[in-house]
């Protein structure tokens, strides 16, 4: 429930058809395309554009082409919505999405944790991380204004940690114990508002070597009563489609989840694991 094709700026080797064919060969029943739409970046960058018409057309053609073999879902990974609330709102209320992921990729004052500089002092680095946690709550609050549900799942909630670790600043926090309360508040906000939590497997094939969020936090979500959980590979190339989904489902089962969630026409469907 989380793949990228060449319509995303960072997945130029992917293609809608290539991802579908990879998923079919693995026997998957669903594939969701969730291209990056980092709203403020698209608005302010001269080089970052998004071909929304082309994307919609490609996914709907794939729905027709592969529909007897796999359910192809039209989605979006809406990034940093609270930085551009009006444009984000317009997008999610006008496009015929099956599924919308809510992500935070950017610290408050920079474009992305990926490109942020990591030479700040320890206390500055910690402050940036804590702002990120606050923004997760702010973004969920925005998503459910007026009783709406502007995105369906909260993606990779430990995202900054991947880059803190890659840049030698991972010692600043141990996400097996630190920020338990803050992450619990984010997960409680999901549960209260019928928004799913994402279990993103991309970390297993990267330096951080763990799911986003990690097992400790997934257990906490279950303890809090979390039921809705989407699982995504976050593939940026067809060969990563479906990676570690089976392993993640096995783990979720041992933690006590009985279902994973997929979304069609913005409505949850519970799939037994």
Residue ranges that bind Zn ion, judged by CB under 5 A: 77, 103, 234
Q: What number of other Cβ atoms are within 10 A of residue 247's Cβ?
A: 12
For Zn ion, give the closer residue by CB, 52 or 65: 52
CA-wise closest residue to 260 among 15, 37, 246: 246
Q: Which residues of 30-56 are buried (b: 16+ CB within 10 A; e: fewer)?
A: bbbbbbbbbbbbbeeeeeeebebeebe
- Look at residue 271 and give its three-state secondary structure: strand
| Residue closer to Zn ion, measured from CB, 66 or 163 | 163
User: Which residue's CB is nearer to Zn ion, number 152 or number 171?
Assistant: 152
Q: Write down the least CB distance from residue 200 to Zn ion, Å.
A: 8
Q: Least distance in Å: CB of 13 to Zn ion?
A: 15
Q: What is d(CA 142, CA 152) in angstroms, rounded to the nearest whole number?
A: 13
Nearer to Zn ion, 5 or 103 (CB): 103
Task: Choose between 131 and 253: whose C-beta lies nearer to Zn ion.
Answer: 131
Distance in Å, CB of 204 to Zn ion, minimum: 15
Q: Is the CB of residue 271 less than 8 Å from the CB of residue 264?
A: no
What span, in angstroms and rounded, lies between the C-alpha atoms of 204 and 188? Answer: 25
118 near 167, Cβ under 8 Å? yes
Q: Residue 104 Cβ, how far from Zn ion at the closest point, in Å?
A: 9
Least gap, CB of 192 to Zn ion (angstroms): 23
């Amino acid at each position: 429930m989380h793949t990228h094709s060449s319509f995303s700026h960072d997945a130029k080797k992917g293609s809608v058809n290539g991802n579908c064919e990879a998923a079919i060969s693995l026997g998957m029943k669903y594939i969701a395309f969730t291209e990056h739409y980092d709203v403020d970046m698209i608005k302010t960058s001269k080089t970052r554009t998004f071909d929304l018409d082309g994307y919609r057309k490609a996914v709907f053609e794939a729905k027709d082409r592969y529909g007897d073999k796999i359910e192809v879902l039209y989605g979006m990974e809406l990034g940093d919505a609270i930085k551009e609330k009006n444009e984000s709102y317009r997008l999610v209320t006008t496009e015929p999405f099956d599924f919308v992921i809510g992500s935070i990729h950017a610290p408050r004052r920079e474009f992305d944790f990926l490109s942020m500089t990591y030479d700040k002092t320890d206390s500055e680095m910690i402050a940036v991380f804590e702002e990120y946690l606050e923004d997760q709550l702010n973004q969920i609050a925005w998503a459910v204004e007026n009783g709406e549900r502007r995105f369906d799942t909260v993606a990779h909630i430990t995202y900054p940690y991947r880059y803190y670790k890659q840049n030698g600043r991972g010692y600043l926090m141990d996400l097996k114990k630190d920020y338990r309360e803050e992450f619990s508040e984010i997960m409680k906000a999901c549960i209260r508002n019928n928004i799913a939590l994402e279990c993103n497997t991309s970390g297993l094939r990267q330096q951080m070597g763990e799911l986003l969020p990690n097992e400790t936090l997934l257990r906490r979500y279950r303890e809090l009563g979390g039921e809705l959980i989407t699982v995504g590979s976050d593939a940026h190339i067809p060969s990563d489609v479906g990676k570690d989904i089976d392993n993640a489902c096995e783990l979720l089962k041992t933690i006590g989840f009985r279902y994973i969630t997929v979304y069609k026409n913005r409505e949850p469907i519970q799939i037994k694991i």
